Structure 1
Amino acid sequence: MKKLILFSLLLAAVLTATAQSPVQKPAETSWQDVVKQFTVVRTGTGYMDVGDFTEFLDRAEGMRKKPGIFKRFTARPVTFYENWGLWPTLLLILFGGLALNLTPCVLPMIPVNLAIIGAGAQSESRRKGFALGSAYGLGITVVYGLLGLAVVLGGARFGALNASPWFNLIIAVIFLLLALAMFNVFHIDLAKLHQHLSRRQVEEEYLAAFGIGGLSALLAGACVAPVVIAVLLLSGNLYTNGVHAGLALPFVLGLGMALPWPFAGAGLSFLPRPGAWMEWVKRGFGVLILLLAGYYGQLGGRLLIAHMKPSGGEEHLVVCENKSTCFKDVLSEALAANQPVFIDFWADWCKNCRAMDKTTFADPKIKSRMERYKVIKFDASNYDESPAKEILDHFGVLGLPTYVVLNPVK
C-alpha cells in the first residue's frame, strides 16, 4: 500500500513537471538558411533586349562562350572587361587618357598652362618645373577620380541609369553637339574661362598648380568630354555588375592624361607640335563622337518605345512584395524540386524594370525559356527596409533591375 502511494506521488510529480516545462519548438528556417543551399551562377543588371537576355541565360546555363572581341566597346561596356580582364582594361583607359593630350582642345593649351603655373621654360629649375608639373597632373587625376566616385556611387542604388531612355537621349544630344563642334559648325571655347579662372591663384604655387590642373580637367573642351563620359558610363556599368575596381577607371583616365605634365613642366619637349595634322585628328574625333551619338540615340528611342507599350508578360512571375516568408518559400520549393531559380529585383519607381516587363519578359521565346526556372520577382521599392535591405546586401545588388540565377548545390 505504501509503495502504491509513493508511486502515485512520483507519477504526479513527473506529470506536473512535464506540464510546467515549456515545449521546445523546432527553430524556424530562415531565408538565409535556405539560400545557403544555392550557388549564384550569374548576375546581370539594367535593361536587356531579347538578344542580350537570351545571351545572359545562355551563359548562366553554360551554353555559350564569352562574346567575341569584335563587339563594339561602346555598345557593350562590360564586354572588353569580361574578355580581357581588369589589367588590360586599365591599360586601355590609361593610354586613352595619355592620348587626350594630343587632341586639338588640349595640345595647344599646354604651353599656356605651363606659363600660368610657372613651369616649363618659365621655371627656375628643372626640378621645380617637374614638381609643379606633377602638382598640375595630380590635380587632373584627383578631379577625374572624384568625379567618377560622385557619379558612380551617387547613382549606384538607383541602378540602370544608363538604360533610362531620357538619359540616353540626353547623352546622344550632348554627343551630337560635341560632334558638330568638331566639324566647326559652331565653336565651344572654354579656354578663355579657363585662363580667367586660372589667374585667381593662391599664394602657394604648388597648391595653385594643383588647383589649375583640376580646373583644366573640367574645362578641357569638346574633345575630352566624350571620352570622359564614356569612361564614366563604363565605370558605372562595371560597378553595378559587382566589379568594384570599375571605380578606379576615371582615376586611371586622369592619371594617363597627367603623365606628360611632370616632364613638360621640367622643360622636356617630347609632345608633337600643333599643326595641320590636328585638323584631321579633330575630324576623326568628330566621326567617333557621331557614332556614339547614334548609338545612344537609337538605344534611348528603343527604350522610349518600350515604355509606351502596354504591360504584359508577368503571369509567369512570382511576386514577393518585400516579404522574407515569400522569398524563403519559393526558394524552398525550388530546392525540393531541384530547380534553378531566377530572381528579378525590381521597384515600382524603376522605369527600366517596366520596360523589361513590357518587352523582354513579354516575348514568347523568353516566356518559354523561363519555364524551367522558379522565378522570383522581388519588390525592392523600399530598399532600405527589412528584409529587402538584407536580401539586396546578400546578393550585392547595387542597381535595379538586377537579375540573379541560382542553382541548387549538388
Structure 2
Amino acid sequence: MIAAFALGQGAAHAETAFLTAEEAFVLTVNESAGSAEGVTLNWAIASGYYLYRDRIDVTSQPPGALVQFDRPEGEQKNDPNFGLMEVFQKAVTVQVHPGTARDLTVTWQGCAEAGLCYPPQTRKISLGDGAGNASALPAPISTVAASADASPRASLLQAAMGNDSAVQQLLTTRSLAWTLPIFFLLGIALAFTPCVLPMVPIVSSIVVGSQAGPRRSFALSLAFVLPMALTYAALGIVAALAGANLQALLQNRWTLFALGGVFVVLALGMFGFFELQLPAFLRNRLDRASCARQGGTLSGAAGMGALSAMLVGPCMTAPLAGALLYIAQSGNMVQGGLLLLFLGLGMGVPLLVVGTLGTRCLPRPGPWMNRIKGVFGFLLLGTALWMVQRVVAPFVALALWGALCLSVALTLFQMLRADGVADAGRTGPGLLVRSLALVVGLWGAAMVFGAAAGSADPWRPLAGIVSRSGSASQDKDTAPASDSSFQTVRSPQELQARLGEALAADQPVLVDFYADWCVSCKTIESEVFGNEKVQRALAGVMRLRADITEGNAAQQDLMRKHQIIGPPTVMLFDAQGRERRDARLVGEFTVKDLLQRHPEGSGI
C-alpha cells in the first residue's frame, strides 16, 4: 500500500509539474491611444520555461495589410526540439506597427526546460477600441482553454534544425557574425561555377578596357561588383518578406514533399542533366542592353553589374535556393539583405582580382569547375532529404542518408579514376580523397544496414543490429527496436471509437500524444516504445498514437477534452475504459518510468 501510494504521488507530481501554456507564457497587450505608437505585446515567462524568438509572429486578419513588428535579440540556446535557437526567458516585449490592419493574430510557441514542448498558441486582437489590457481581449487559444480555434504556425523546417545536413543547417546554427563570412565564401565558390567564371574575363574586358591603369581598373571593377551585390541584396529582402507565408506552407507534409522534389530537380541540374537559364528571347534582350552600355565609365560599369546579376541569376537558381530558403524562414529583412549582399560581394572577388591584376591570375577553366557544381548538387540532395525526413519513417530517412553517403563515396572514387590518378591515390591529395571516400562509404553502408535492422539514429546506425547480436545480450533490453504497433488517431471521435473497440474486447489502452516537431517524442518512440521489455509489458494492450502535428481544430479539441498540455504525454486506460490518471506521464520519460506505471506482465 505504501509503495502504491508513493507511486501515485510520483505520477501525480510528473503530471502537475508542468504549467499550462497560459500560465507559462502570460501575454498582455497595450494599445497606444490613437495607435500612433502601435501595439505593445508583453510576455511574462515563468521560471524554467522559454519562448522561441522565431516563433513569435503577428499577422493581419483578414490577410492583406502590412504588419511590421520588432523582435528583440534573444539568447542562444541549443534546443533539443529545434537545434540552436534564439529564445527569451523571464520576459520579452515586442512592438507592433499594425498599419491599416484592424485585427491582428499573434502566434507564439515555447517549451519547458524539463522536456515538454507546447503547441503553438494564438490570440486574436481587435484594434481601434483603445483596449489596453489583456482582459479586454479575447481569451488565448490554447491546448486546454475552451475557447476558439487555433491557427498554429509550427514549422517543420525549423523542427528539423537539430540535424546537421545541408547548407541551411550550417547557417542556422551560427550567429550573424558567422553567417556573413559563410555567405561571402559561398559567393566566392559560386563564382567558380561554369556559368559564372567564363563570364569574368569577358565582362572585365568590357568594363575595364585595355587603357585603364590599376587604380582605375579597380574603381571600375568595384563599380561593377557593388550594383551586382545590391541586386542580390534586394532578392534577400524579398525572400525575408515572404518568410511568414513560407513558414505556414511548410507545415504541410505534401508541401515538404513538393519542395524536396524541387531540390532534387535542381540537384540534377547541378549534375549536368540539364541547364538552368533564362529563355532565349530574354537573354538576347539583356545581351543587347549590355552591349549598348559604354565600357570604361563608372555608370556603364554599374549598369553592367546589375545586368550581369540578372543574366547569371537563373543559372545559379540551384545553389541560391538553399540560401533563400534559410533567409525566408528567418523572416528578417535586414539579415536577408546583408546575407545576399555578402554573397554578391563574394561573387565579385574574382572580378576585382581580374580587373586589378588581369586574367593571368585566374585558374584555367577545366573539369574542376564541374566538381564544384557536383558539391552543390549533393548539398541540394541533402537539403531535399533534410526537409522530408521528419515526415517519413525514421528507418526510411536513415536508409536515404546512407544512400546519399554511398553516392558521395562512389563519386569520389570515380573522380580519382577519371583523372587517371588511381595509383596516385596512395599519396598526397589523392590519399586524402580516397580516405574521405572510404570513411563516407563505410558510414553510408552502416546506415543502410542499420535501417534494415530497424535503427533510426545516424550517429548509431548499427544499434538495431547490435541489440540482436549474442555479444550484446546484456544491452538487449535497453537498445531501441522497431515498433509499428501503434494506431494513429487525430480527433476525439477517432479516439473514442478506438476506446469503444478496446472496451468491447476487454482490452487496456495506451494513448501516446505525439507531434512531428517534438524531438522528445522521437526519442521516446525509439528508446522507450522500441524497448523489448516495454513491448513485452504492453503485449495485449491497444496502443494508440494521437498525432497533433498539424494542430487543427479537431486535434486542439482532442487535447482540450483530455486536458493535455503538450507532447509528449501518455495516458493509460484500464479494460473498463477508465483512465488511470495517477499513471499519466507528461514530458520526456524513460523505460523505468513507464514500467513503474505498467509493470511487465500486468494489466493496466
Distance 1:100 1:124 in 2: 28
CA distance in 1, matches of 2:83, 2:161: 16
Aligned-pair CA distance for 1:112: 1.5
- Provide the rounded CA distance (Å) in 1 between the counterparts of 2:206 and 2:324: 29
State how far apart, in whole Å, the 2-side matches of 1:262 and 1:370 are.
Answer: 55
Aligned match of 1:232 in 310, 324, 343? 324
Matched, 1:95 2:185: yes
Alignment partners' CA distance in 2, 1:359 and 1:53 = 25
Taking the TM superposition and a 5 Å limit, the aligned residue runs for 1:105-254 are 105-119=195-209, 122-153=210-241, 155-156=242-243, 158=245, 160-161=247-248, 163=250, 165=252, 168=256, 171-189=259-277, 193=283, 195-201=287-293, 205-220=297-312, 224-239=316-331, 245-254=335-344
Q: Distance in 1 between matches of 2:388 and 2:567?
A: 34
What secondary structure is seen at the aligned counterpart in 2 of 1:146?
helix
Q: Residues of 1 paired with 2:81 and 2:43: CA distance?
A: 28
**Counterpart position of 2:125:** none
CA 1:135–1:300: 2 relative to 1, 3 Å: farther
1:60 Cα shift? Answer: 3.5
Q: Distance in 2 between matches of 1:135 and 1:126?
A: 14
Which ranges of structure 1 fall in alignment gaps of 5 or more residues?
A: 1-29, 303-308, 315-352, 373-410
Q: 1:113 to 1:170 in 2, by over 3 A?
A: farther
Distance 1:35 1:219 in 2: 45
Question: Aligned residue for 1:259?
Answer: 349
CA deviation after TM superposition for structure 1 residue 118, in Å: 3.6
Which residue of structure 1 aligns with residue 538 of structure 2? none
Report the Cα distance in structure 1 between the residues aligned to 2:44 and 2:331, rounded to whole angstroms: 24
What are the Cα deviations for residues 356-385 of structure 1, in whole angstroms up to 9, with x where unaligned?
337986898x9744399xxxxxxxxxxxxx
1:4-403 matches, within 5 Å, as 31-32=29-30, 38-39=44-45, 41-43=50-52, 44-45=54-55, 52=81, 60-63=111-114, 71-74=164-167, 76=169, 79-81=172-174, 85-119=175-209, 122-153=210-241, 155-156=242-243, 158=245, 160-161=247-248, 163=250, 165=252, 168=256, 171-189=259-277, 193=283, 195-201=287-293, 205-220=297-312, 224-239=316-331, 245-268=335-358, 269-296=360-387, 312=491, 355-357=550-552, 368-370=564-566
Percent identity of equivalent pairs: 25
Contact 1:46/1:160 (<8 A) preserved: no
Structure 1 residues 359 and 130, CA gap change in structure 2 (3 angstroms) = farther
Q: Distance in 2 between matches of 1:220 and 1:52?
A: 38
**Alpha-carbon deviation of 1:261?**
2.3
8 Å CA contact 2:218, 2:355 repeated in 1: yes
Counterpart Cα distance in 2 of 1:218 and 1:232? 16
Please tell me the residue identity of whatever aligns with 2:55: T
Deviation at 1:133, TM superposition (A): 0.8
Q: Deviations over 1:315-356 (max 9, x none)?
A: xxxxxxxxxxxxxxxxxxxxxxxxxxxxxxxxxxxxxx9933
SS in 2 for 1:229: helix
Alpha carbons of 1:213 and 1:37: their partners in 2 closer, same or farther (altered >3 Å)? closer
Higher relative contact order (CA closer than 8 Å, sequence separation 6+): 1
Q: Which moved more, 1:224-233 or 1:55-64?
A: 55-64
Residue by residue over 1:198-236, the C-alpha shift from the partner in whole angstroms, topping out at 9 and shown as x without a partner, is 213268832222222222223325663233222222222
Residues 208, 368 of structure 1: alpha-carbon distance in 2 compared, 3 angstrom cutoff: same
- Secondary structure of the structure 2 residue equivalent to 1:38: strand
User: 1 CA distance for matches of 2:245 and 2:218?
Assistant: 43
2-structure distance, mates of 1:227, 1:199: 28
Could you list the per-position Cα deviations for residues 130-152 of structure 1 after superposition, in whole angstroms to 9, with x for gaps in the alignment? 11110111022100111111232
Question: Secondary structure in 2 aligned to 1:199?
Answer: helix
Greater strand fraction, Structure 1 or Structure 2: 2
Aligned 8 A contact 2:244 2:329 in 1: no
CA drift at 1:275: 1.3
Change (3 A) 1:182 1:75: closer
Cα distance between partner residues in 2 of 1:244 and 1:367: 41
Question: Structure 2 CA distance, aligned partners of 1:267 and 1:37?
Answer: 57
CA deviation string 1:9-44 (max 9, x = no partner): xxxxxxxxxxxxxxxxxxxxx744997582383124
The CA distance in 1 between the partners of 2:354 and 2:279, in whole Å, is 19
Structure 1 pair 223–311 and aligned structure 2 pair: CA distance change class (3 A): same
Would you say the 8 A contact 2:186–2:346 is kept in 1?
yes
- Structure 2 stretches of 5 or more lacking a match? 1-27, 32-39, 58-79, 88-108, 116-159, 394-487, 494-547, 569-604
What residue identity is the alignment partner of 1:355?
E
Q: Deviations over 1:291-315 (max 9, x none)?
A: 334444667999xxxxxx996479x
Q: Quickly say closer, same or farther: Cα 1:203–1:39, change in 2 above 3 A.
A: same
Q: TM-score, normalised by structure 2?
A: 0.39
Kept after mapping to 1: 8 A contact 2:240/2:336: no
- Indicate conservation of the 8 Å contact 1:182/1:222, yes or no: no
Preserved contact between residue 224 and residue 305 of structure 2 (Cα < 8 Å): yes
> What is the TM-score normalised by the length of structure 1?
0.55
Shift of 1:92: 1.1
Amino acid at match of 1:128: R
Is the Cα contact below 8 Å between 2:198 and 2:365 reproduced in 1? yes
**Would you say how many aligned residue pairs link Structure 1 and Structure 2?**
287
**CA 1:151–1:281: 2 relative to 1, 3 Å:** closer
Aligned residue for 1:60, secondary structure, equals: strand
The structure carrying a bigger helix percent of its residues is 1
Q: 1:70 to 1:171 in 2, by over 3 A?
A: closer
Inter-partner Cα distance in structure 2 for 1:356 and 1:298: 20
Structure possessing the higher radius of gyration over alpha carbons: 1
Measured in 1, the distance between the counterparts of 2:363 and 2:178 equals 26
